[in-house]
Amino acid sequence: MNNNHFASILLDWYSRHKRDLPWRNTKEPYIIWLSEVILQQTRVAQGLPYFEKFLENFPKVGDLAEAPSDEVMRLWQGLGYYSRARNLHQCAKDIVAIYEGKFPDNYKTLLKLKGVGSYTAAAIASFAFDEPVAVVDGNVFRVLARYFGISTDIASGSGKKEFEKIANEHISKKYPAEYNQAIMEFGSLQCTPNKPNCEDCPLKLSCFAFNNGLVNQLPVKVNKIKVKERYFTYFYIVCGDHVVIKQRSGGDIWQGLYDFPLEERKIAHANEFKELSILEKLGLFDPKIHFNPETRFKHILTHQRIFANFATFVIDESHLSKLQKWAEENGYELADFPKLESVGKPRLIMKFLNGEK
């Protein structure tokens, strides 16, 4: 592409900075496939010795196909993501059994192989067969997002499609293999996740992120915050005009706010108050316990879903001093209602106190 400034710069940069790695400078699909599978989720320095071990033990795909799975797994030991090794082995067997020992020579068919997804299929198709199909890995996401100023979430399905489209629009049709290697090497060595070397970058004059101060904001990866479910049982302990409260401390939500004595379970567990240790301690005070099944709250935070039950304990006023002592010994406070009113409380607690649902 004559007017493909982006690709030309990358190709030129690559010719000057490429690392000499053993799986480069070959068109042998078996070697390329082996290196790519090993390098999935894996850094070069860690993958390199495994690549050498595998190639030494299994010089041809048929050797790998014939190997006992125990041997394959043992050689993979320590590399992680062991399904890769199982898929690798199965793929080798399939190459022999279905493809007569020869790797498919195009992206579409390569995609059918076990353990070969869009990235690896594009890598093999371009490196071994010069098919102009762009690889999109973490490096490519980063380089494209920064250079073209794309803020689409790279973790989303639509984001992946968008980046694939742009990558394929800019691949060098003449040197697809070199281009794919170049953009990944560039992302790996120059346009790094942290502290990229922008000052010394050949693309900086036309880089959107660099020129708009967005290098550290791109690419956008929406936090796949795993929403954790938590199950709370609160103890609303009332004695005359006092109530037991507790100020929340660090390392958790609602730091510094006040709530009530709390016991948390890891799993949903309907109404099993009898198992909760606080009941035994409170047994001293001969409390009346009200558990109203209606007071179940579902409280949503960004990263947590809290299912809360409230159990109300009404304790005879004659036990006030005893309760005071118990509260202090257990890190709680005995507050009158004006005090309870005055302290900061999580929305969940407010809902309970206000009788909201």
Partner DNA sequence: ATCCGGAACA
Partner DNA sequence: TGTTCCGGAT
CA distance 228 to 127: 43
**Of residues 36, 131, 178, 185, which has the active-site annotation?**
36
The one among 2, 3, 199, 224 contacting DNA by CB under 7 A: 224
The one among 3, 194, 302, 354 contacting DNA by CB under 7 A: 194
CA 325 from chain center: how many Å?
Answer: 46
Asked if residue 29 binds DNA (CB under 7 A), the reply is no
Strand-strand pairing, 304-315 and 228-239: parallel
Asked if residue 78 binds DNA (CB under 7 A), the reply is yes
Nearer to DNA, 9 or 110 (CB): 110
| DSSP label of 255 | T
212 in Cβ contact with 287 (< 8 Å)? no
Nearer to DNA, 194 or 277 (CB): 194
For the beta carbon of residue 283, count every other beta carbon within 10 angstroms: 9
CA distance 43 to 40: 8
The one among 7, 61, 67, 116 contacting DNA by CB under 7 A: 116
CA 86 from chain center: how many Å?
Answer: 23
User: Per CB under 7 A, which region of 99-107, 163-171, 224-232, 261-269 contacts DNA?
Assistant: 224-232
Asked if residue 40 binds DNA (CB under 7 A), the reply is yes
Asked if residue 25 binds DNA (CB under 7 A), the reply is no
Catalytic, 264? Answer no
User: Shortest Cβ distance from residue 16 to DNA (Å)?
Assistant: 22
Q: List C-alpha distances in Å: 148 to 56, 204, 237, 334.
A: 42, 11, 59, 60
Q: What angle separates helix 44-57 from helix 29-39, to the nearest 10 degrees? A: 140
Asked if residue 46 binds DNA (CB under 7 A), the reply is yes
Nearer to DNA, 123 or 311 (CB): 123
Asked if residue 164 binds DNA (CB under 7 A), the reply is no
Beta partners for residue 312, in sequence order: 236, 290
Q: Which of residues 79-98 bind DNA (CB under 7 A)?
A: 79-83, 87
For tokens 């599978």, the residue is 37
145 in Cβ contact with 220 (< 8 Å)? yes
Bond preceding residue 219 cis, omega within 30 of 0: yes
Asked if residue 324 binds DNA (CB under 7 A), the reply is no
Asked if residue 190 binds DNA (CB under 7 A), the reply is no
Q: Which of residues 226-265 bind DNA (CB under 7 A)?
A: 226-227
Active site residues: 36
Binding site for DNA (CB under 7 A): 40-43, 45-46, 78-83, 87, 113-121, 137-139, 141-142, 156-158, 193-194, 221, 224, 226-227
